[in-house]
């Protein structure tokens, strides 16, 4: 990618993103590590698996408290769904959660429908 393109904002519909990097919230050892990585990446968008993500951990901490919602758009995804019905239900759930947070990602979805757990 040319530096000219890399420096140009990415426009998706009515959204203008400074970064073209989309990060995720899964597989971090701790919520603090995830928070540090999101800050270091300067990503404007982070994916959250609505079905699989535990919004509250064993200590009662909410993953959303570790995401800078004033800066980051959450892209809800349907990871863990094995059929259309589940994917649509989870996408709608993600939309409602983000509408409640007034997060611009409420109108977005990263659609994932799996064939089996082996090829996840």
Residues with a catalytic annotation lie at 110
Give dist(CA 107, CA 73) in Å, integer: 10
Q: 63, 54 in Cβ contact below 8 A?
A: yes
Strand 10-12 to 22-24 pairing: unpaired
Strand 45-49 to 73-77 pairing: parallel
The SS3 call for residue 110 is: strand
Give dist(CA 30, CA 28) in Å, integer: 5
């Amino acid at each position: 990618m040319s530096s000219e393109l890399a420096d140009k904002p990415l426009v998706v519909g009515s959204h203008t993103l400074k970064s073209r990097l989309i990060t995720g919230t899964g597989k971090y050892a701790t919520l603090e590590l995830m928070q540090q990585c999101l800050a270091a990446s300067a990503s404007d968008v982070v994916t959250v698996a609505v079905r699989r993500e535990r919004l509250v951990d064993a200590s009662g901490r909410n993953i959303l408290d570790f995401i800078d919602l004033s800066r980051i758009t959450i892209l809800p995804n349907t990871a863990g769904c094995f059929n259309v019905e589940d994917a649509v239900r989870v996408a709608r759930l993600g939309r409602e959660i983000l509408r409640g947070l007034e997060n611009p990602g409420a109108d977005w979805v990263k659609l994932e429908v799996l064939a089996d757990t082996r090829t996840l």
